[in-house]
Chains A and B, each alone.
Chain A
Amino acid sequence: MGSRTPLYDHHLAAGARMVDFGGWDMPLHYGSQIEEHHQVRRDVGMFDVSHMAVVDVAGADAKAWLQYLLANDVARLSETGKALYTAMLNDNGGILDDLIVYRTDDGYRLVLNAGTRDKDLAWMRQQVGESAVTITERTELAMLAVQGPRARELCASVVSDSRAALISILKPFEGQPEGTWFLARTGYTGEDGLEIMLPADEAPDLWQALNEAGCKPCGLGARDTLRLEAGLNLYGADIDEQTSPLAANMGWTIAWEPADRDFIGRQALEAQRQAGDQPRQVGLVLNERAVLRAHQTVIVDGVGAGEITSGSFSPTLGCSIALARVPAATGNTAKVEIRGKQLEVRVIRPGFVRNGKQIFE
């Protein structure tokens, strides 16, 4: 039996098909993953993401230590509430995890992937050394992601006035505490929305209230197709310890300046950048009646081969899409072999749908 979130019984009651995800029993879907996907793109849906790890970092050296630990630079968080997306690298420049860091009044709040939680925490504790830093895992918190064009409006309608007021002023990629809650305008779907961290024992009431207000529960299946359409990486599929952020469309998350900031993996990344030998992450679009899937080979005539890291059917576009790692010299088309047939695919920048609309030509 896997770990259970505070909403486990609610998932069962709603008819969820449960699956193991990183050691957690989580809902895959509640009937139709495609309907849940459309629900988020067109209206509003909610995900239980309590399996993710919320970790607070505080202490006199918190800032300097995170500047060393993470490839992006927390010095960019100019004020409380701001957030950034970053990789945590090993010495070889491989991605240990991808995470969001919020600046808080007392320090920083990190949200880590569920499957990497133990590894991440062990790594972080190993890096503390003489630094004056405390690392506190907030296992008493649950987390709900409410996503979709109507997400903020619906959330505001079921919470206290002060929380509703905060929701109305939160900017994209900003997170602020409100009492024992923490409300952030972040997500993993390519839609507007909120991620709400709150005491585990209050999560079922919020879930219930949102549900009664018309917010449908959505499972990991829809979460996966939504993030794929948005061109967002999934740890363990698109990125892992063997992957450089330069090969995963995460170059923008590496803060090269200031040049004298030493961070773990910097040397390795600089050597890679110098050599210019990294493959590149692209998006693929297939206009045939087949589905691109992880580990299928991408054939680039005259250049070489690559691999799909995640692929699926795109409910919004009605065709199959994928993220793939291909040779840097790949042009605008490639082929993917599916069931013995080589099918032509379009090669685009990673990212297919945002805010309900197709974002490539």
Chain B
Amino acid sequence: MVNKVYNNRAWLLVLPMLALVAFSAIIPLMTVVNYSVQDVFDANTRFFTGIEWFERTLNDAGLQAALLRQFAFSFTVLAIQVPLGIGIALLMPKRGWQASAVLILITLPLLIPWNVVGSIWQIFTRGDIGLMGVGLRELGYGYNITRNPVDAWATIVLMDVWHWTPLIALLCYSGLRSIPEAYYQAARIDRASKWAVFRYIQLPKLTNVLVIGVLLRFMHSFMIYAEPFVLTGGGPGSSTTFLSQSLATMAIGQQDLGPSAAFSLIYFLIILLVCWVFYTAIMNMQKDKAERGGV
């Protein structure tokens, strides 16, 4: 028999971490949970409501529409940004001053604050003074983001693509740079086509950075708030009202603390769930590959 000595002092070492997490995550989250199950009138008057706010949130037709819109938006921008980002990374110069110049140019949109991006595009698309607004009208297209939902949608998607495609491009660029020159030479000697080089040399190297890129971009785009808020204010009607804006209207505009707390929790869980599913799927894919020996 081996006599194991249990030393419970180890728990003491966990305490600081626990305290930190409590302040940074658990306590704020519990406040929200607290509100989500009560109807609060003032500091002394409150009623326990159970899951009523959750039921109401889930059955709210406006919120359901916003959720669908949110998914549609995230998928649209991802579907555009991922291939476009890869394409840009492939076309970027590999060395010399051109490489530095292009890197700086590409990075610029990433450095602009969300609100400013919204303002830039708000002015850019104005029918009276905006370059794009006036330009499209001159070309004979009756472009108007305050009237036409399609125009508003297209503009928000375009804005997001402009703002965030560089992130994918940068990630892919760094991935591509890590491929030794000898691989390309060997492919040339094999007389491999450009497509074969991409498919069998470059893409396998990019999978890891793309997983990170897609996860980041999904979370980002799913939480989008400031840019459409400044650009369209969620309109025309509610055609560009995404989840964050619905939440803000509810919590700050209408002071519906209970329902917005329930809504916040559901919102948080959806993001967590989608990321988890996505991450697990990718990891399983890689495990399969690793078992077969690929990377």
Chains A and B come from one and the same complex: no
- B residues touching A (Cβ–Cβ < 8 Å)? none
- A residues touching B (Cβ–Cβ < 8 Å)? none
